[in-house]
Amino acid sequence: MIHLTQLERFLTETLRSAAIADYAPNGVQVRGRETIHKVVGGVSACLDLFAAAEAAAADLILVHHGVVWNKDSRVVEGQFKTRLQFLLSRELTLMAFHLPLDMHPELGNNAMILQRLHLRPIAPFGLYHGNFLSFLGENAMDETCDFFARRVKELFGGEPLVLPFGPERVKRVAVCSGSAPELIREAKEAGADLFLSGEASEPVYHFAREERIHFIAAGHHRTEKFGVQAVGELLARQFGVEFQFIDIPNPI
């Protein structure tokens, strides 16, 4: 059991969210119960996750994508109103950490991806408002793009988009979870043989082909599952709260 204020302070300090320029508020977005016994984690705030959390008798929902974004209207209506009504009526607390959950050097989505793909971080990558989002990694395995893509599919599932236009062997890989196809230019400049992200954009195809760099899009949702899980497991170890990760599938 932990008090919500203590938990929020711990995560804000651990994830260094106050020092990160983000386009969404990090921390508590909907304040419900103050005493936390069980935390349910998920990638994105949605009604299906809220219902699953209620069924699991959770006190707090921890997500990567919350219900509040800086660009959103301040009018409480439609989807936003329905989500708030559900959380408030059940006294469920919603906490979200966006870029801090991508960027953390140990708990972040990108750090976890590099670790699971056996990529040794050798340089920071993806500069955003004074902070780096991720890393350029050195591949511990001597392999082709086809073999690397198979490992990506095994890790994330689904059918990743593969543009195999780079060199014969994949030695250096730049990684950025979620939606960051524009960073393929920075990946090329950094000396990467392959750039792995969650989503693609139309210009990526011709850039990869003409600049001879491999590109893989493994799915926005799929590449952002590990950070929430790592943080939830840390809370369970540190404070003895129960943690359960609930994956609400999203093919994008």
Per-residue pLDDT in tens (0 to 9) along the chain, 252 residues: 899 999 999 999 999 999 999 999 999 999 999 999 999 999 999 999 999 999 999 999 999 999 999 999 999 999 999 999 999 999 999 999 999 999 999 999 999 999 999 999 999 999 999 999 999 999 999 999 999 999 999 999 999 999 999 999 999 999 999 999 999 999 999 999 999 999 999 999 999 999 999 999 999 999 999 999 999 999 999 999 999 999 999 999
DSSP 55: H
Domain boundaries, the chain: 2-97+224-244, 103-223
Question: What is the distance between the alpha carbons of residues 146 and 83, in angstroms, rounded to a whole number?
Answer: 42
pLDDT at site 144:
98
pLDDT at site 34:
93
Question: What is the distance between the alpha carbons of residues 195 and 214, in angstroms, rounded to a whole number?
Answer: 6
pLDDT at site 183:
98
Predicted TM-score (pTM) above 0.75:
yes
Domain 2-97+224-244 identical in fold to domain 103-223: yes
pLDDT at site 88:
98
CATH topology of domain 103-223: 3.40.1390
pLDDT at site 67:
98
pLDDT at site 118:
98
pLDDT at site 180:
96
pLDDT at site 237:
97
pLDDT at site 26:
98
DSSP string, 112-153: HHHHHTTEEEEEEEEEETTEEEEEEEEESS---HHHHHHHHH
Is residue 65 within 8 Å of 98, Cβ to Cβ?
yes
Q: Pairing relation of β-strands 172-176 and 194-197?
A: parallel
* CATH label, 2-97+224-244, candidates 3.30.420.40, 3.40.1390.30, 1.10.645.10, 3.40.50.970: 3.40.1390.30
